[in-house]
Amino acid sequence: MDFHIYGANCYEYFVSEDIQEVIKWFEKQKVMYSLYYVPVPVSANYEINFYVPQVDGALFLGSFKSKKRV
């Protein structure tokens, strides 16, 4: 695929082409997390600054905690 979902919290990050897989990963934790749509393959190399992927066209999807939008 030509895109993936990037999720991050203050401790770690997780990427996948399946948004449900990323959400499931972070829902097990008790810390707020943010999701981004990243328009490059999951294998692409790119910088991350302050938990944000530095890719042209990346979209912030929201910040979440315990299945509720923050």
Whether residue 70 has pLDDT greater than 70? no
| Residue among 7, 10, 1 at smallest CA distance from 43 | 1
How far, CA to CA in Å, does 67 sit from each of 39, 50, 63?
25, 23, 10
> What local confidence, expressed as pLDDT, does residue 30 receive?
83
> What local confidence, expressed as pLDDT, does residue 52 receive?
96
| Integer Cα distance of 30 and 45 in angstroms | 29
Whether residue 68 has pLDDT greater than 70? no
Q: Are 44 and 23 in contact (CB under 8 A)?
A: no
> What local confidence, expressed as pLDDT, does residue 24 receive?
94
| Integer Cα distance of 59 and 35 in angstroms | 9
Q: Are 34 and 12 in contact (CB under 8 A)?
A: no
pTM of structure: 0.90
pLDDT tens digit sequence for 25-60: 999 888 999 999 999 999 999 999 999 999 999 999
